[in-house]
């Protein structure tokens, strides 16, 4: 790859070398306590296998992609950022060329789901600047999850540097302004290293990778979706629902499949104690525009604190002069008050919900569930306008990523 100087052999050559190690070599390696397989951390084997990037030349030429037709799926980019935690301290971190992670077979992330992640986006502004949206809140939320899962917190400086280095190194993959696409950013924290018993890992990796994406729900602009109330519970009242832990999402895959079998896009979860109050959708928070110029978001200690939802509620109150409320929402009792509903999050942005399946029937909202209502359209325009640098950022929510 032009402009890159790697310290060691390429990944493909090293992998082939590993694949051809003989049983004699393996026995010799174990006898000397130096396994010839790939190990996690800053070991010699790890460096030989996963080339460390020592120089990055940022290309100003964009990749030749059909940006307007991108779906929400993984697309490998050139670089990712990685830092490790060991013996009570974080490494400085570095850019890597390989998308693969080598972990010990006993890693707690694999067996006990000691891992968490975040979701963010970088947008291109009309003047060419590359903007992040409230990244300090993602850092804060990751550290809250880390504390809950007995993982080391990632310092804000390391978090922001990792995100910005990954974005900057992959400039060619950042969708251009006006394309409708964005650069999705996935910071993640995983427990790695040798382990067997149920206890915290001793070594952790903080990694940031990026991928250009289109809308989460494939549609130009706003997409009207539908939700189906799930018979499954997402999280217990005092469980991990308020944290962005990977295990929360694996448990929801079956609920989403059931919802899709009913013709919905996502599952809608009610509280697990009474199955009365709205918690959240499978991949997003919920906001409801109710009669009386009110915007209401569900309140529960099992709901993930969405950066998007917090921003939308602020915009509704300040820019649209709506009465905002964060409180429990009794779905069945308050349905007649619903005028518009939306799912909101980094991936979903603000997706209007046209219909909800509950108790064996569909309940439709604005425009018989087929049109975007004026409240959600205005909120979407305000939110996205700030994220893309089209509107004044009076709150200082955006952060420019320097390309120098």
Q: For the whole model, what pTM was predicted?
A: 0.86
Confidence (pLDDT) at 221: 61
Confidence (pLDDT) at 219: 59
Per-residue pLDDT at 16 exceeds 70 = no
Please list, residue by residue across 145-170, b when 16 or more beta carbons sit within 10 angstroms of its beta carbon and e when fewer do.
bbeebebbbbeeebbbbbbbbbbbbb
Q: What φ, ψ does residue 398 adopt, rounded to 5°? A: -90, 155
**CA dihedral sign, ordered 126, 161, 72, 379:** negative
Confidence (pLDDT) at 240: 96
Give the rounded distance of the alpha carbon of 370 from its chain centre: 28
Least Cα distance to 327 among 304, 302, 296 occurs for 296
Residues contacting residue 293 through CB under 8 Å, at least 6 positions apart: 321, 322, 323
Least Cα distance to 210 among 172, 249, 250, 176 occurs for 172
Per-residue pLDDT at 113 exceeds 60 = yes
Is 81 within 8 Å of 167 (Cβ atoms)?
no
Confidence (pLDDT) at 26: 32
Residues contacting residue 23 through CB under 8 Å, at least 6 positions apart: none
Is 363 within 8 Å of 355 (Cβ atoms)?
yes
Confidence (pLDDT) at 43: 38
What average pLDDT does range 173-180 have in this prediction?
96
pLDDT grade, residue 384 (50/70/90)?
very high
- Rounded CA separation 342/312 (Å): 11
Please list, residue by residue across 86-115, b when 16 or more beta carbons sit within 10 angstroms of its beta carbon and e when fewer do.
beeebeebbbbbbeebbbbeebbbbebbbb
- Rounded CA separation 353/356 (Å): 7
Catalytic center residues: 244
- 319-378 pLDDT, tens per residue? 999 999 999 999 999 999 999 999 999 999 999 999 999 999 999 999 999 999 999 999
Confidence (pLDDT) at 223: 83
Per-residue pLDDT at 54 exceeds 90 = no
- Rounded CA separation 195/188 (Å): 20
What average pLDDT does range 300-318 have in this prediction?
97
Q: Compute, in degrees rounded to 10, the torsion defined by CA atoms 57, 59, 63, 67.
A: 120
Confidence (pLDDT) at 64: 93
- Percent of the chain surpassing pLDDT 90: 81
Per-residue pLDDT at 7 exceeds 60 = no
- Rounded CA separation 186/163 (Å): 9
Q: Which domains does the chain have, with CATH numbers?
A: 61-213 (3.30.470.10), 225-387 (3.20.10.10)
Per-residue pLDDT at 81 exceeds 50 = yes
- Rounded CA separation 326/311 (Å): 13
Per-residue pLDDT at 30 exceeds 60 = no
Instruction: Give the H/E segment covering residue 89.
Output: strand 89-90
């Amino acid at each position: 790859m032009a402009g890159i100087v790697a310290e060691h052999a390429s990944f493909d050559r090293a992998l082939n070398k590993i694949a051809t190690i003989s049983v004699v070599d393996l026995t010799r390696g174990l006898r000397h306590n130096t396994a010839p397989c790939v190990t996690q951390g800053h070991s010699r084997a790890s460096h030989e296998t996963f080339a460390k990037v020592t120089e990055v030349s940022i290309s100003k030429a964009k990749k030749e992609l059909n940006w307007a037709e991108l779906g929400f799926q993984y697309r490998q980019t050139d670089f990712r950022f990685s830092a490790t935690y060991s013996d009570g301290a974080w490494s400085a971190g570095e850019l890597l060329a390989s998308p693969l992670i080598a972990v010990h077979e006993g890693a707690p992330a694999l067996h006990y789901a000691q891992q968490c992640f975040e979701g963010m986006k970088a947008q291109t502004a009309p003047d060419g600047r590359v903007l992040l949206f409230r990244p300090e809140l993602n850092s804060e939320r990751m550290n809250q999850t880390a504390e809950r899962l007995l993982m080391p917190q990632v310092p804000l400086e390391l978090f922001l540097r990792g995100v910005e280095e990954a974005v900057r190194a992959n400039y060619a993959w950042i969708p251009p302004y006006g394309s409708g696409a964005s650069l999705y950013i996935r910071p993640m924290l995983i427990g790695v290293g040798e382990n067997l018993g149920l206890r915290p890992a001793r070594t952790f990796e903080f990694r940031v990778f990026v991928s250009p994406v289109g809308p989460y729900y494939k549609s130009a602009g706003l997409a009207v979706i539908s939700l189906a109330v799930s018979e499954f519970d997402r999280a217990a009242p005092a469980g991990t629902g308020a944290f962005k832990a990977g295990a929360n999402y694996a448990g929801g895959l079956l609920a989403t499949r059931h919802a899709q079998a009913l013709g919905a896009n996502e599952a809608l979860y009610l509280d697990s104690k009474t199955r009365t109050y709205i918690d959240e959708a499978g991949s997003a928070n919920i906001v409801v525009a109710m009669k009386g110029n009110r915007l209401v978001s569900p309140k529960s200690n099992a709901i993930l604190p969405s950066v998007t939802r917090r921003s939308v509620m602020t915009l509704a109150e300040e820019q649209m002069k709506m009465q905002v409320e964060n409180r429990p929402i009794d779905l069945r009792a308050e349905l007649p008050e619903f005028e518009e509903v939306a799912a909101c999050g980094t991936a979903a942005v603000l997706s209007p919900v046209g219909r909800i399946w509950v108790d064996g029937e569909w309940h439709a909202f604005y425009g018989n569930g087929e049109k975007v209502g004026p409240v959600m359209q205005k909120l979407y325009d305000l939110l996205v306008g700030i994220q893309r640098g089209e509107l004044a950022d009076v709150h200082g929510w955006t952060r420019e990523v320097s390309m120098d």
